[in-house]
Structure 1
Amino acid sequence: MTNHSKLPAVILAIAPAAALLTVVLSVLYGTKDISAAEVWRAVVSFDPGDVNHQIILHSRLPRALGALLVGACLAVSGAVMQGITRNDLASPSLLGVSDGSIFAVTLCMIFAPQLSGSGLILVSMTGSLFGAALVFGMGHLLPGGNAPVTLAILGTLTGMFLNGLSDAIAMYYHIPQAVSFWYNARLYQIDPGLIRLSLPFAAAGLALLMVLSRSISALSLGDEVSAGLGQRVRLVRGFTMLAVALLSGISVALAGKIAFVGLIVPHIAKMLGGSDYRRSIPLSGVLGGLFLAFCDILSRFINFPFETPIGVVTALFGVPFFLYLIRRKGGKSHA
C-alpha cells in the first residue's frame, strides 16, 4: 500500500532536481542539437550575435520554464475542480474553463489589441469564470446535470459553441491566424515577458488554494459533511473557483488551450498522496509541470525533425485515461 505520509515529501524533495533535469533536456534537444558547453556559455556570457545563444535564451529556456508553469497551473486547477465538484472528470479543458478564456482573449484581440500582458491575464481569467459559469449553470438547471459524464458533455458542447463563436468573430474581423494560436497550443511561441508577468498571479492563485486546502478537503466529502464541519460551503467554492480561473487564465494566456493535463495528473497525485488537498495541491503542481515538460520534449521526436502539436501528445495519454475514468465511474458522482 502506498505510504501517503512519506511519499509526497519524497516527491517534493526531489522535484527541484527533476525540474532542473527537464529544463536541461528541453534546452539541449530539438530540431537543432546544442551542446551542453554551448548552453553554459549562453548562460554565463551571452553573445547577442550568436544564433545558438539566441535560441537558448529566447526560445528553448522560456519554452521549458513555460511548460513547467502551465502544467502546474492546469494540474492544480483540475485537482481542486475535482474536489469541489466531487467529479472525477472535472478539468479546465473539459468543463468550459479554457474555452471561456480563449473566447475572452479573442474579443480582447479585436477590441483591445494594445492591452498589456497583465491585462491579457485578467481578461483570460474573466473568460475562465464565464465558461465555468455557463457549464455549471446548465448543470444545475438540468435533471442529473451534475453527474460526471453529463457535466463533461455539457462542457464539450459549451466548448464547441464558444470555439465556433470565436472562429466566426475572428473570420469576420480577419484575424483567424492570430486566434488559431490559442486553440492549437504552441509552447515554442511562448512569450518570455508574459512568463515573468504571470509568476505573481500564479503565486497568488496557488497561495489562495493552499490557504483553502483544508476546506477543499472537507468539501470533497460533500456539502452536508462540509457544512457539518463548520465550513462555509458557498464561500469556499467561490474563492476556489476564483483561484481556478486565475490559474487557468494564466495557462491560456501563456500557451493557449492544452487538454488532459488537468484531468490526468490530479488522479496520479491523489493515488500517491491521498485525498488531503494540503498534499494533493503541491503534488499536482509538481507532477503537472513535469508531465507537460516531458510531453513537450517528446513532441520533438515523435515525427522528427518536425514537431508534433503538444495537444496531440497530451491526448495520447489523456484519451485512454478519460475512457478509463468513464468506465470506472459509470457516469455517477462520488457517493
Structure 2
Amino acid sequence: MSKNLSTKLLFIITVILSIVSLFVGVSDISIFNIGKEELDIILISRVPRLISILFAGIGMSISGIIMQQIGNNKFVSPSTAGTIDSAKLGVLMALVLIPKPSTSQKIVISFIFAVLGTFIFMRILKMLKVKDIIFIPLVGIMLGNVVGSIADFIAYKNDLSQNMGSFLRGSFTTIIKGNYEMLYLTIPLLVAAFLYANKFNLIGMGEDISVGLGLNYKLVSNIGVIIVSLISALVVIVIGNIPFLGLVIPNIVSIMKGDNLQKNMPFIAMLGASFLLVCDIISRIIIFPYEIPIEMTVGVIGGAIFLYLIFRRNK
C-alpha cells in the first residue's frame, strides 16, 4: 500500500467513524428515519460533539509532534512537559482572581500559564546533562505533578476542589451548541503548524544543526511553544484533560511512515481524530446508556500504547 493510498484510506475511515459518531447515543436515531426532533438532537448535540472530537484529536496530536520536535525527544508531549497541568493552573487562577470569569478570560490566563510552564520545562531540559529518552519525559511529569499539587492546594484553600475536579475531567458529555465554538480558534493555529512543518522538522535535528542550516532556532521554537500552549488551553477549557493523545499518535505515525514531518502532518491529524473518535464511541457504548469520561478511556488505551512504545524502544 502506497503512502498516498494509506492516507486516503485513513481519511475514509475518519469519515465513516464521524458518521457513526453522529448516530451513537442515548437517543435512538436512525439514519433512515430522521424527523424534526432527531434533527434537533443531531444539530444541537451530536454535531458540536463531533466537531469538538475532531478539533481536539487533531489539535492535541499536532501539538504532540511539535513538542517532540522542539524537545528532540519522542516521549515529550503536552501531557509530559507540564503544559496541560500549567493550563489547568491557569484556569484555576482565573476562577480565583476574577469573579465569574468569561470563557475568553479563562483561555487567556490558561494560555499564559501554559506558555510559562512549557518554557520552564524547556529551560530545565537545556540544563539537564542526561538526555535519556525516558528520563526527560519523567522530568516533565514530575514538573506537571508539582504544578498540579500547587493547583490542588490553591483549589483547596479557595474551596474550589470539587468544581475544578468536575470542570477539568476530560468529557464530551456537556458539549452542545453554544459552548464549544471557541475550539474554532484552533484552525489558524493548525494552519500555522502546517506552514512551519519544515522548520519544526529542522528543529528536531538539534539546535546546532538547525542554526547551521540558517534557521532562527529560538524564534521557531517559541512559535511552536505558543501554538502548543494555545491549543492545549483551548482543549482544557472546552473539554478538559485528554492524556497521552499527543504522545502516542506521533510515535505510531513515526513507526509507520518515518520522520518527515511535512509529509506526515496530515496523517497525524487524521489518525489523532480517528483515535479519539474510536475512544469516544467506546466510552458511549461500553456501559450504555451511561458514559465513561473520555479522559479515562484515552488514558487506559493510550497508557497501554505508551507502555508498548517504551518496551519497543528498549528492545
TM-score of the superposed pair, with normalisation by structure 2: 0.90
Q: Does 1:315 align with 2:299?
A: yes
CA distance, structure 1, for counterparts of residue 26 and residue 35 of structure 2:
20
Which residue identity does 1:259 align to in structure 2?
A: P
Alpha-carbon distance, 1:264 to partner: 1.2
Q: What does residue 138 of structure 1 align with? A: 124
CA distance, structure 2, for counterparts of residue 142 and residue 84 of structure 1:
15
CA 1:306 to 1:195, structure 2 compared with 1: closer, same or farther past 3 Å?
closer
Q: How does 1:316-335 map to 2 (within 5 A)?
A: 316-330=300-314
Q: Does 1:242 align with 2:226?
A: yes
What CA deviation, in whole Å up to 9, does each residue of 1:286-313 have, x standing for no partner?
A: 2111211210111122223332221221
Cα contact 2:82–2:144 (8 A) shared by 1? yes
**Gap runs ≥5 in structure 2:** none
CA 1:295 to 1:113, structure 2 compared with 1: closer, same or farther past 3 Å?
farther
What CA deviation, in whole Å up to 9, does each residue of 1:242-268 have, x standing for no partner?
A: 111111122111111110111111122
Which residue identity does 1:10 align to in structure 2?
A: K
Q: What does residue 45 of structure 1 align with? A: none
Q: What does residue 25 of structure 2 align with? A: 30
Q: Does 1:108 align with 2:102?
A: no
Cα contact 2:26–2:288 (8 A) shared by 1? yes
Q: What does residue 279 of structure 1 align with? A: 263
Cα contact 1:185–1:310 (8 A) shared by 2? yes
Cα contact 1:185–1:258 (8 A) shared by 2? yes
Q: Does 1:302 align with 2:286?
A: yes
What is the RMSD computed on CA atoms of the aligned residues? 2.4
Q: Secondary structure at the match of 2:178?
A: helix
CA distance, structure 2, for counterparts of residue 124 and residue 21 of structure 1:
34
**Gap runs ≥5 in structure 1:** 43-49
Cα contact 1:75–1:265 (8 A) shared by 2? yes
Q: How does 1:288-299 map to 2 (within 5 A)?
A: 288-299=272-283
Alpha-carbon distance, 1:330 to partner: 4.4
Q: Which of the residues 66, 70, 73 maps onto 1:87?
A: 73
Alpha-carbon distance, 1:9 to partner: 4.8
CA distance, structure 2, for counterparts of residue 193 and residue 305 of structure 1:
24
Q: What does residue 64 of structure 2 align with? A: 78
Alpha-carbon distance, 1:113 to partner: 4.3
Alpha-carbon distance, 1:79 to partner: 1.0
Alpha-carbon distance, 1:59 to partner: 2.6
Cα contact 2:88–2:236 (8 A) shared by 1? yes
CA 1:206 to 1:236, structure 2 compared with 1: closer, same or farther past 3 Å?
same
Q: What does residue 8 of structure 2 align with? A: 10
Q: Does 1:157 align with 2:142?
A: yes
CA distance, structure 1, for counterparts of residue 112 and residue 132 of structure 2:
25
Cα contact 1:23–1:65 (8 A) shared by 2? no
Q: Secondary structure at the match of 2:129?
A: coil
| Matched residues, number | 315
Q: Secondary structure at the match of 1:165?
A: helix
Q: How does 1:157-306 map to 2 (within 5 A)?
A: 157-190=142-175, 192-199=177-184, 201-306=185-290
What CA deviation, in whole Å up to 9, does each residue of 1:153-209 have, x standing for no partner?
A: 12222222222222222222222232113442111113543432331x212211221
Identity %: 27
CA distance, structure 2, for counterparts of residue 80 and residue 232 of structure 1:
16
